[in-house]
Amino acid sequence: MPSATRILVVEDEPMVAEVVERYLARDGHDVEVVHDGREAMAAFERFAPSLIVLDLMLPGIDGIEICRRIRERSQTPIIMLTARGDEVDKLQGLDVGADDYVTKPFSPRELAARVQAVLRRAGPAWARQGGDDQLLRFNDLLIDLPKRAVENARGPLELTAREFDLLSFLTRHPGQVFTRDQLLDAVWDRTFAGEPGTVTVHMRRLRSKVEADASRPRHLKTVWGVGYKFEP
């Protein structure tokens, strides 16, 4: 990754923050560390990060609220750090817009690899892998794969990197049914130790943006007892 890639680390445990900063800086990232939620929002505006590593439990303003506020103005990728093993806490982070999560205690190398994977998916290098002029149109839904842009009858849609990955994967396999485990393997990093509920949360958020009526989806269908499919 080029040195211009900026990572904002929001972590209130000094030792954890120091280790994360050291590993990410070693990979060539420009890293800024802040220690509470109030500092995080100011740093986000000033630093304009390419990716945010955000602790769930923070003094002042917690990580869930920080993630919610950032999502109101930006689709910058967010990796959530949580010391909790409860799936509800992880899914709550995903539900407000986090792209990924890592549970403490974690390996710094694992986190650094996860950062690289999320940046690769969100960045222009990943976008060019699909070709120069790949446009997918399904009625009023238009997906520009190289530009990672999506729009429908209401106009451009603001999708997170992971939401776009999920949508583009399903649209490139129209009519094919995938289990949640298959989607975890295909869309998330293969080392991602996520629960199938992660897919459910992302699908719910994706429907709320793509579908005219999320309760009666036209394209993103549930196949009960099996998984999901995209209907052209």
Query: CATH homologous superfamily of domain 6-122?
Result: Response regulator (3.40.50.2300)
Residue among 23, 187, 176 at smallest CA distance from 94: 187
> What are the extents of the domains in the chain?
6-122, 129-230
**Can you tell me the distance from the alpha carbon of 63 to that of 76, in angstroms, rounded to the nearest whole number?**
15
159 neighbors 75 (Cβ within 8 angstroms): yes
CATH topology of domain 129-230: Arc Repressor Mutant, subunit A (1.10.10)
**Strand (E) or helix (H) holding 194:** none
Full pLDDT tens readout for the chain, 232 residues: 444 588 999 999 999 999 999 999 998 899 999 999 889 999 998 888 989 999 998 888 899 999 999 988 888 899 999 876 666 667 777 888 888 888 888 888 889 988 988 887 765 433 333 343 478 888 889 998 878 899 998 999 999 888 999 999 898 888 889 999 888 888 876 555 567 788 999 999 999 999 989 999 999 999 998 999 999 8
- The residues with which 227 forms a beta bridge, in sequence order, are 223
